[in-house]
Amino acid sequence: MAKSTHHNDVNTQQNTHLPKDRSNEDKEYVAGLEKGLSIIEAFGIKNTPLTLSEAAEITGHSRASARRSLLTLQKLGYVECDDKMFRLAPRVLRLGHAYLTSTALARTIQPTLEAISERTNESSSFAVLDGSDAVFVARAATRRSLSNGLGLGSRLPAYCAATGRVLLADLDPDEAKTRLERKPRQKLTPNTRIDIPTLMSYLNEVRRVGYAISDEELELGVRSLAVPVRDQKGQTIGSISIVSSTSRRSLENMIENLLPELERARWMVASLI
């Protein structure tokens, strides 16, 4: 998968002085914690170790503020430093693991994904929307799974992922457009759609038909199909998808044979949550 850089995804407050008219809720806000977490997110944005200057640039913090955050994270074991280059330490995995183990949804949906993959012999996943990305929180892979490196916590740009498009389509159109514009859109393959009018038109079609496809837009030779998962109140909580190789299935075959599997799965999940 191609890596992307989106410096604008992390929005931080540079002025940490509290105005006199701040509400009681604002007084509970810990600016230092926000800065530390934004530094951690900055590593994911750049996808490489960071210098102090890069950390400050990505987060919008001053160099002095970024330095304090990095040194604090280093002391706590979340960051390592080697020759002025900072990198995340293995301890940071505790944060993602805490989410996966404390969220019942991922555990609830896992058996359903495994059943789908067993019946179809294709990999299936469950993803949620985080900003402008689809984040995978449950997954069932087959032996012949495509070697795309996807795993728990993997992120795909929502504008060209079937899961992401389903989740964007569930938003208010203005909000969906804002999220599309917030992140640079790259042509990952010759088939990737990146212009806003085309993407907005596609989201309208997803709302109409109830599913989304990504046909060799993320990776040549790979196509995926996704449907939204809603709770009993009708609120969208995520998206289930199936991915296949173009050499194994045509798009028509996926819609005819795999879409019913996804529909069955999402109703099953809705009855459990």
Would you call 14 exposed, middle or buried from its count of C-beta atoms within 10 A (0-12, 13-18, 19+)?
exposed
Q: What integer pLDDT is reported at residue 266 of this predicted model?
A: 86
**What's the whole-model pTM score?**
0.70
Q: Please check whether residue 15 lies inside any domain of the structure.
A: no
Q: Please check whether residue 118 lies inside any domain of the structure.
A: yes
Expressed as residue numbers, the domain containing 43 is 31-91
Q: Is 136 found in the same domain as 263?
A: yes
Question: Is residue 104 over pLDDT 80?
Answer: no
Q: Is 227 found in the same domain as 142?
A: yes
Q: Is 69 found in the same domain as 42?
A: yes
Q: Is 173 found in the same domain as 55?
A: no
More confident residue, 96 or 237: 237
- How many distinct structural domains can be found in the chain? 2
Q: Please check whether residue 237 lies inside any domain of the structure.
A: yes
Question: Is residue 131 over pLDDT 90?
Answer: no
Q: How far apart are CA 202 and CA 222, in angstroms?
A: 19
Q: Please check whether residue 4 lies inside any domain of the structure.
A: no
Q: Please check whether residue 68 lies inside any domain of the structure.
A: yes
Residue 149 pLDDT class (50, 70, 90 cuts): low
Q: Is 110 found in the same domain as 83?
A: no
Q: Is 259 found in the same domain as 130?
A: yes
Identify the weakest region by mean pLDDT among 10-19, 20-29, 213-222. Answer: 10-19
Q: Please check whether residue 22 lies inside any domain of the structure.
A: no
Q: Please check whether residue 231 lies inside any domain of the structure.
A: yes
In CATH, what number is assigned to the domain containing residue 37? 1.10.10.10
Per-residue pLDDT, averaged over 115-144, amounts to 87
Q: What is the pLDDT of residues 24-39, one digit of tens each?
A: 457 777 888 888 888 8
Q: Is 203 found in the same domain as 85?
A: no
Q: What integer pLDDT is reported at residue 153 of this predicted model?
A: 75
Q: Are 211 and 259 in contact (CB under 8 A)?
A: yes
Q: How far apart are CA 242 and CA 127, in angstroms?
A: 11
Q: Is 109 found in the same domain as 67?
A: no
Q: What integer pLDDT is reported at residue 190 of this predicted model?
A: 95
What is the residue type of 230?
Answer: R
What Rg value do the Cα atoms of the chain yield, rounded?
A: 20
Q: How far apart are CA 64 and CA 126, in angstroms?
A: 40
Residue 269 pLDDT class (50, 70, 90 cuts): confident
Q: What is the pLDDT of residues 71-83, one digit of tens each?
A: 888 888 888 888 8
Q: What integer pLDDT is reported at residue 216 of this predicted model?
A: 94
Q: Are 168 and 178 in contact (CB under 8 A)?
A: no
242: part of which helix (H) or strand (E)? strand 236-245
In CATH, what number is assigned to the domain containing residue 148? 3.30.450.40
Enumerate long-range contacts of 52-55, CB under 8 Å, 24 or more apart: 52/84, 52/86, 55/86
Q: Is 206 found in the same domain as 168?
A: yes
Q: Is 231 found in the same domain as 122?
A: yes
Q: Is 121 found in the same domain as 83?
A: no
Q: What integer pLDDT is reported at residue 1 of this predicted model?
A: 38
More confident residue, 59 or 106: 59
Name the percent of the chain lying above pLDDT 90.
41
Q: Is 162 found in the same domain as 47?
A: no
Query: Could you say which of 50, 67, 91 is where a domain stops?
Result: 91
* Size (the chain), residues: 273
Query: Could you say which of 91, 115, 136 is where a domain stops?
Result: 91
Q: Please check whether residue 165 lies inside any domain of the structure.
A: yes
